[in-house]
């Protein structure tokens, strides 16, 4: 089974490199079109999210897969071939065979996410697969691989508690509170105060839950523009933050400041003009950006790090007990998949073996029925069924041996032995 992953994620690469090699849906489509035209004999799926960019390639036959350097070069070419001085070799990983299968299953199940157990990643993996399917870069192996990954993710979601206990402050705030308050985010206006990593992580969750209207405000406008561009948002002047709050539904604030950037007095000055509109504020700054008393105002839901940390700690403790069970499920599912794929490569030999016995069966049945011309159709059918069962029992041990030996790869020696024993080679 020829399967390889080359990629980078939050574990291996810096934020700067991840940003540089993040593919938008349009860029992903363009990259797959280039792949189809230049390397048509190799299957490919490109997965790109906030925290990872991974290229999955495969070949169901004996074609040698492109090396890491060539695959990385392909990705860079789609991003204007600029390394920007990044130390790529130390930040990019390559996985083959079983390890590649296990990795995808872990990704789809949320076990490899920055926030363990996040559920949005499965939708992103499905979208990446569908994009590749639409651009005809999916083949037999990647199709089987991703379908099995979806099943593994579903099994883990239903048989463990991994997805029921969020453990990051942004994930708890968005999934457990913002969604509970608003129900949907696609029609909500969102303000981001500050352009740091915590705000970016929170934006990832907001966007994954459907947020579209995003405005970034920061004292340094260039950083605000960079963050807004990543999420198809817009930028507003920091000095206009109070006016922007008039129509806001959600505010995420991560500004480093020694004093509140929004005081109770500031909010009182605009409160009446909000006309009772519900406001959800996630204050992730230390010291806090919003004066705590604002949370006591009608229609305001204000959460700080301290208010959410206790929930995260409790969830982490409960979730940790589920990790070994989920990892074991991933390991077993990956091994079963590899074994099945290896076993499929035995198909030609198995088919020849069945054909050889089927020919022998038909010859013997013809001879028998000629000697017993008075048999009824029912009696002939019973005899034919008995022959089929006998052949099945004779072939079961060698076929079972093939399947078992496929756990460690295609069993070439055993295939050669069967071919010699039963004279299955074309020149025999």
Q: What is the DSSP string of 43-68?
A: EEEEEE-SSEEEEEEEESSSPPPPPH
- CB of 407 closer than 8 Å to CB of 335: yes
Which of helix, strand or coil describes residue 30?
helix
Name every residue whose Cβ is closer than 8 Å to that of residue 188 and which is 6 or more positions away in sequence.
182, 211, 213, 249, 250
Distance, C-alpha 372 to centroid of its chain: 63
Let me know if 297 is a catalytic residue: no
Count CA within 13 A, CB hemisphere, residue 174.
Answer: 28
Distance of CA 98 to CAs 87, 142, 192, Å? 27, 14, 42
Quick one: which of 197, 206, 196 has its CA closest to 173?
206
Helix (H) or strand (E) holding 251: strand 250-253
* Helix orientation angle between 412-421 and 377-405, rounded to the nearest 10 degrees: 140
Measured CA to CA, the distance from residue 400 to residue 396 in angstroms comes to 6
- CB of 137 closer than 8 Å to CB of 44: yes
Name the phi and psi angles at 278, rounded to 5. -65, 135
Structure tokens at 397: 């041990």
- CB of 72 closer than 8 Å to CB of 88: yes
Tell the burial category of 289 from Cβ atoms under 10 Å away from its Cβ (0-12, 13-18, 19+).
buried
User: Which residues partner with 96 through β-bridges?
Assistant: 4
Is beta strand 52-59 parallel, antiparallel or unpaired with respect to 43-48? antiparallel
Looking at 50, 204, 297, 312, which residue is catalytic?
50
- CB of 331 closer than 8 Å to CB of 323: no
**CA angle at 296 for the pair 290 and 297, rounded to the nearest 5°:** 90
Q: Report, as residue numbers or ranges, the catalytic residues.
A: 50
């Amino acid at each position: 089974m020829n399967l390889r992953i080359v990629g980078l994620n939050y574990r291996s690469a810096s934020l700067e490199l991840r940003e540089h090699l993040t593919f938008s849906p349009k860029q992903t489509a363009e990259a797959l079109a280039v792949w189809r035209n230049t390397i048509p004999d190799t299957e490919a799926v490109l997965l790109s999210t906030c925290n990872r960019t991974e290229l999955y390639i495969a070949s169901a036959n004996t074609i040698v897969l492109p090396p890491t350097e060539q695959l990385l070069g392909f990705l860079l070419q789609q991003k204007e071939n600029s390394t920007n001085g990044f130390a790529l070799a130390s930040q990019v990983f390559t996985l083959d065979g079983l390890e590649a299968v296990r990795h995808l299953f872990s990704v789809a199940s949320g076990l490899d996410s920055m926030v363990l157990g996040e559920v949005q990643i499965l939708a992103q993996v499905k979208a990446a697969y569908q994009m590749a399917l639409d651009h005809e870069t999916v083949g037999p192996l990647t199709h089987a691989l991703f379908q099995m990954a979806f099943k593994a993710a579903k099994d883990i979601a239903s048989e463990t508690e991994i997805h029921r206990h969020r453990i990051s402050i942004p994930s708890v705030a968005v999934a457990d509170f913002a969604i509970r308050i608003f129900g949907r985010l696609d029609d909500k206006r969102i303000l981001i105060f500050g352009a740091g990593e915590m705000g970016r992580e929170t934006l990832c969750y907001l966007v994954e839950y459907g947020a579209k209207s995003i405005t970034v405000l920061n004292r340094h406008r260039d950083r605000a523009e960079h963050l807004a561009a990543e999420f198809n948002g817009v930028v507003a002047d920091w000095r206009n933050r109070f006016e922007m709050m008039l129509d806001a539904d959600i505010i995420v604030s991560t500004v480093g400041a020694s004093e509140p950037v929004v005081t109770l007095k500031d909010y009182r000055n605009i409160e009446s003009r909000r006309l009772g509109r519900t406001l959800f504020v996630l204050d992730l700054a230390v010291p806090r950006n919003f004066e705590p008393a604002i949370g006591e105002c009608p229609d305001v839901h204000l959460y700080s790090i301290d208010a959410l940390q206790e929930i995260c700690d409790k969830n982490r403790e409960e979730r940790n007990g589920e990790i070994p069970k989920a990892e074991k499920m991933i390991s077993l599912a990956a091994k079963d998949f590899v074994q099945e794929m290896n076993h499929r490569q035995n198909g030609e030999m198995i088919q020849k073996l069945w054909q050889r016995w089927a020919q022998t069966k038909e010859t013997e049945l013809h001879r028998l029925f000629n000697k017993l011309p008075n048999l009824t159709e029912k009696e002939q059918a019973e005899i034919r069924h008995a022959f089929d069962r006998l052949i099945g029992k004779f072939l079961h041990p060698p076929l079972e041996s093939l399947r078992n030996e496929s756990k460690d790869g295609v069993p070439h020696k055993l295939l050669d032995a069967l071919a010699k024993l039963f004279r299955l080679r074309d020149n025999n």
